[in-house]
Structure 1
Amino acid sequence: MYQEVLRESEAWDQVRKQSVINLQVAVVLQGGYLDEVHQQMQGRKQKKAGKKPGGKLVGDGLPRLLNEDGFIDEVFKHEQAQKRKAEEKEERKLEKEHHTKALERWKEACKARDERVKAQKEQYRQALEEWEDERQLAKTERRRIGWQKPTLGAVEKKPGQPKKRAAQRADDVTDVGQTPLFAAHSPPLDAHLPFSDHFLS
């Protein structure tokens, strides 16, 4: 008799515990549901103001049982999706900052390269003028020129422009082995062939 009473007492205790758990789950889900309703209301206000509204958990307007397993799964999936969106947004922000800094360094490198090329061309122009003077003098004196006609030589190409990571991944797949951006715009130069005078014009 006492054992039967004890078993009934334990059974009622289990039922009570389960009821408490269900109530706790319902309270948590109710809070989440109210948060979602608040977000949806904010989304409607933002939409009226011309802003993009936030995501919706349930969009058909029908009531949901808050302790239903399917709804719990939807809450979990929605929270995970919101978390991924926040992480992706932060990642894009950091990527933009890194790309901006890389572009600044690239512009500085291009500027330094342009200065070096400018100095190289000026040195070539001066050497060519001296050679022309020597050529005219040798012609007058009926002798050979004292040295060979100077050549410009290979001109340093512009460094490749940095790209965002997504664009770089796409290029790695489709453009493997191709000439980097901007480098293709540099004229093909042969260090072993003399340049004609029109290059300086």
Structure 2
Amino acid sequence: MVRSSSAAFLVSLSPIQSTSTPPTFIPIPISPYSRKKARYSDLLIVPPSNVLEEELQNSVRELLAANKEQKSLLISMQSSLVLNGAYCDLVRGQLAAQEESKKSKKGKLVGNGIPRLLTSKDFVRCVVAFQKAAEEKEAEMKKRRATKAEKSTAMSQWKELEKARKAENVAIRARWQEDVKAWEEERDRAKANRQRPSWNKPVLKGQLFSPVPKPTFATNDQEEPIAGPSRLPVNTDSDKSESEDSEDENESADDE
């Protein structure tokens, strides 16, 4: 199926070109979490009159918990696909610029009257000199310092990805806090009825997105970040957010 579709380049042995467009992902609408009372709460708060009703209520709670977990996973997967799409667009832009730079290079050796037989010693020397000059030029182009426009474009794209990542982490943390609150209500209800909660306490660990690496450019002998250190500076909003992420993860793990 893939080989006969527009995504055939993904399973092809040929190098991927910047014109190769990955399949477009169209997110599906997902209803927001309800801040009101949980579904079927009127049925679940009624004390069961027999064993069958108690089992039915427990089954409803398990199904509601499973549905909520699947919804959370779906939101997380769609968010990942959106960020991956932005990353692919960024890489394709860089690949297109690299392809344009290769077009300007000479790909064939012109002997200027020298015999073009491979057995000719003079021609072989010209070939060697040509290849050496081409390699040195390519190495020099790789080592050159990036222009101000290239740095500005790369930083703008990186900031957009970081902004989207932080916004998604805020949404994930908000949903996690709602899940924890619902779990605490369920825990108190189960404790009052001398029962165990019907689902485990939600954890934040593994759900948050890691920071997007800062773009770097090669200088004379080594790679340097385009602005400032490779890590985010101390006492910034980003660091504060990341530290809160780790604290929330540790707190959820400790409560478990």
Larger helix share, 1 or 2: 1
TM-score by length of 1: 0.41
TM-score by length of 2: 0.33
